[in-house]
Amino acid sequence: MKWFKRNIDPLTSEERLDIIRKSSKQVGPGVFYSTIIVITSFLPVFLLTGMEGKLFHPLAWTKTFILIVDAFLAITLAPVLISFFLK
């Protein structure tokens, strides 16, 4: 624990926000592409017809909508909340 207490150099709020901004830019494309890949995996469900289509279309639409909202929140809201909580 000596090494932990010895190197205490608090970050300024500007440095902290810059780190959060850089990490968000680094994580954003991964979140976007992974969301696109998962949504693409639901494309065959959208092509179903008949009883199967009636059964699984609402599930696929709901899952697609939730993934889009999740990606949007992960890219926009998460960095803002991190900047508030890491003060």
Q: Is the pTM of this model over 0.85?
A: no
What's the one-letter identity of residue 36? I
Banded model confidence at residue 2, pLDDT cuts 50, 70, 90: low
For the ranges 1-5, 33-37, 59-63, 67-71, which has the lowest average pLDDT?
1-5
For 10-64, the pLDDT digits (tens) are: 778 888 888 888 988 898 889 889 999 999 998 899 899 999 989 999 999 999 9
Least Cα distance to 79 among 16, 13, 19, 24 occurs for 24
Is residue 60 within 8 A of residue 44, CB to CB? The reply is no
Q: Residue 10: how many CA atoms within 13 Å on its side-chain side?
A: 4
**41-53 b/e (C-beta count within 10 Å ≥ 16 → b):** eeeebeeeeeeee
